[in-house]
């Protein structure tokens, strides 16, 4: 006899927080002994090639309030435009650069901070060079699915003007939401989930 599966209902969708921090950044949550350090905390060492930069910013909700429980991940090429990935066929990426980082927002200020290098240019699928950029993934309480966006560098005007992804954005007035502003030690990139300054998110 075939079992009636009608009683197996889909469970409600759940948001990421607060358990995402326990699973992804246990040391940050005060849970010792899982990892020596939380995965993704360190992207560089003293032998990493390229221009060292510090990325800072906050994730803001629709009321312009910074989220204090956001978790941010980044993925980028090294200074030569090569990814630390088995699928990278153009050359060997810098072995002293992870290319991937994960940081929780500060629970008082909501600010995230990454120590990394400015990435080189990588080719688009059709071979055209993209501007230097960093891919961001954001998750927090109230976000059912992680949000994907990109950071571009405001001081790379020529490269940004040629970038095939930026060229495809129909509403040109929103492109500044993807630009990181220069700071004394790196760049600042604030992410707005809603509102007049809503950041462009990509459906990946």
pLDDT at 141: 79
Task: Give residue 149's domain range.
Answer: 19-192
DSSP string, 105-157: PPTTT-EEEEEEE-----B-TTSPBPPSEEEEEEE-TT-SS-EEEEEEETT-H
Q: Looking up tokens 């995230």, which residue turns up?
A: 112
- Tell me which residue of 138, 162, 159, 140 sits closest to 150, measured CA to CA: 138
**Token code pair at residue 69:** 């429980």
CB atoms closer than 10 angstroms to residue 27: 15
**For the stretch 142-152, what's the b/e string if a residue is b when 16 or more beta carbons lie within 10 angstroms of its beta carbon?**
ebeebbebbbb
**Average per-residue pLDDT in the chain?**
91
Asked whether residue 163 is assigned to any structural domain, the reply reads yes
* Number of domains the chain contains: 1
Domain at 130, CATH number: 2.60.130.10
Q: Is 103 helix (H, G, I), strand (E, B) or coil?
A: strand
Asked whether residue 162 is assigned to any structural domain, the reply reads yes
Asked whether residue 203 is assigned to any structural domain, the reply reads no
Asked whether residue 9 is assigned to any structural domain, the reply reads no
Binning pLDDT at 50, 70 and 90, where does residue 4 land? Answer: low
Q: Is 9 helix (H, G, I), strand (E, B) or coil?
A: coil
Asked whether residue 134 is assigned to any structural domain, the reply reads yes
Asked whether residue 138 is assigned to any structural domain, the reply reads yes
Of residues 18 and 67, more confidently modeled? 67
Asked whether residue 127 is assigned to any structural domain, the reply reads yes
pLDDT higher than threshold 60 for residue 89: yes
pLDDT at 164: 97
Q: How far is CA 22 from the centre of its chain?
A: 19
- Region of 8 on the Ramachandran plot (φ > 0 left; ψ -120 to 50 alpha; else beta): beta
pLDDT digits over 31-79, tens only?
888 888 988 999 999 999 999 999 999 999 999 999 999 999 999 999 9
pLDDT higher than threshold 90 for residue 16: no
Q: How far is CA 142 from CA 14, 114, 147, 184, in A?
A: 9, 24, 12, 33
Asked whether residue 126 is assigned to any structural domain, the reply reads yes
pLDDT digits over 144-193, tens only?
789 999 999 999 999 999 999 999 999 999 999 999 999 998 999 999 99
CA dihedral 15, 61, 149, 49 (to 10 degrees): -100
């Amino acid at each position: 006899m075939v079992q009636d599966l009608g009683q197996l209902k889909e469970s409600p969708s759940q948001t990421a927080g607060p358990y995402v921090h326990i699973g992804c950044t246990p040391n940050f949550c005060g849970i010792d002994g899982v990892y020596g350090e939380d995965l993704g905390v360190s992207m560089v060492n003293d032998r990493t090639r390229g221009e060292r930069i510090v990325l800072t910013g906050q994730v803001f909700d629709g009321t312009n309030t910074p989220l204090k429980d956001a978790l941010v991940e980044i993925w980028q090429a090294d200074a030569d435009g090569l990814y630390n990935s088995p699928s990278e066929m153009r050359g060997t990426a810098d072995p002293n650069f992870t290319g991937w980082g994960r940081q929780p927002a500060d629970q008082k200020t909501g600010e995230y901070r990454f120590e990394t290098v400015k990435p080189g240019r990588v080719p688009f699928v059709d071979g055209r060079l993209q501007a230097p950029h960093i891919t961001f993934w954001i998750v927090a309480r109230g976000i059912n699915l992680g949000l994907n966006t990109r950071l571009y560098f405001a001081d790379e005007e020529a490269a940004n003007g040629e970038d095939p992804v930026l060229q495809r954005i129909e509403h040109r007035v929103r492109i500044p939401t993807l630009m990181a502003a220069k700071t004394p030690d790196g760049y600042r990139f604030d992410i707005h989930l809603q509102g007049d300054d809503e950041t462009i998110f990509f459906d990946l």
